[in-house]
Amino acid sequence: MRFQTPLIPARLIRRYKRFLADMRLEDGREITAHCANPGSMMGLAEPGVKCWLEPNDDPKKKLKYGWRLVDHENGHFTGVDTSLPNRALREALEAGEVAKLAQYTDIRPEVKYGTGSRVDFLLSGAGLPDLYLEVKSVTLSRSPGLAEFPDSVTVRGTRHLRELQAMIGEGHRAMMLYLVQRTDCTRFALARDIDPAYGVAFDAARAAGVEIMCLGTSISPREIRLAGAVECLA
């Protein structure tokens, strides 16, 4: 998935109200960017961190910049926009690039299910059970090479696990896909200390038959693409 507009570098001044971030551009101007990430962004929102922003000229948008990446300035990047994994995954699914799911030919995003929720993707194919697929963006890393989820308490995420488990009970296939938006991590685990309830729901869902998949990403200021499997330690 290529960014629609070339990204520009900036330095973070502060993030506040979850969805706002003040930035300093290279020419010294200070602007406010939209931060499409409801999590804590632990370890990613320190003042002075190098960021990459996507400008826009959409008259319907109040903010003319979107915060897309953190640049760790060591050759590695983290994608902080939680909406991007779904876009990148949809491209990969439609191109048949996810081997374990390539047999599914009908890919529908944002389908209503459960108790008033929308599943990220509903996959179907001739002779195959429907597959309810939820995607979680993983950006937390507290130990070198290890990505963790969640980075804050997520009641919504816990509900999604329970709703996937309910789909198994109805005879469908269900999967939770953790997409690691960090290029410096090759392993994945649950941050059970941050949200114990999520860990309990995860264990129950997996025991009931919900499948777990962990994939990495290739990230640059030009694009975000799916990469290979990430070792799951959960």
Using the predicted structure, report yes or no on whether residue 234 has a pLDDT greater than 90: no
Name the pLDDT band for 60 (thresholds 50, 70, 90): confident
Whether the pLDDT of residue 169 is over 90: the answer is yes
In a domain, 47, yes or no: yes
pLDDT digits (tens, 9 = 90+) for 68-110: 999 999 999 999 999 998 999 999 999 999 999 999 999 999 9
Task: Give the three-state DSSP class for 92.
Answer: helix
Residue range of the domain that includes 160: 84-232
Looking at the fold, whether 60 and 169 belong to one and the same domain comes out as: no
Residues 137 and 61 in one domain: no
Q: Is the confidence at residue 227, as pLDDT, over 90?
A: yes
CATH assignment at residue 90: 3.40.1350.60
- Number of residues written out for the chain: 234
* Structural domains in the chain (count): 2
Residues 109, 143, single domain; the answer is yes
Contact 3, 29 (CB under 8 A): no
Q: 182: which residues sit within 8 A by CB, 6+ positions away?
A: 76, 77, 78, 79, 138, 139, 141, 147, 217, 219
Backbone phi and psi for residue 85, each to the nearest 5 degrees, phi listed first:
-55, -40
Same domain, 115 and 20: no
In a domain, 3, yes or no: no
189 and 97 in a single domain? The answer is yes
Residue at which a domain ends, from 27, 55, 79: 79
198 contacts 234 by C-beta, under 8 angstroms: no
Q: What are the tens digits of pLDDT across the range 9-39?
A: 999 999 999 899 999 999 999 999 999 999 9
The pLDDT-based confidence of 152 (bands split at 50, 70, 90) is very high
> Is the confidence at residue 116, as pLDDT, over 90?
no
Between the alpha carbon of residue 55 and those of residues 14, 28, 68, the distances in Å are: 18, 16, 10
Among 88-92, 203-207, 208-212, the minimum mean pLDDT is found in 88-92
Does 64 lie in the same domain as 16? yes
pLDDT of amino acid 117? 86
At residue 61, the pLDDT reads 86
Helix, strand, coil in percent for the chain, rounding step 5: 20, 45, 40
Report if residue 72 sits inside a domain: yes
Q: Is the same domain home to 121 and 186?
A: yes
**Does residue 1 fall inside a structural domain?**
no
Same domain? For 211 and 100 the reply is yes
Report the predicted TM-score, pTM, of the whole model to 2 decimal places: 0.94
Looking only at the bridges linking them, the beta strands covering 131-138 and 173-180 are: parallel
Asked whether residue 2 is domain-assigned, the answer is: no
Average pLDDT in the chain: 95
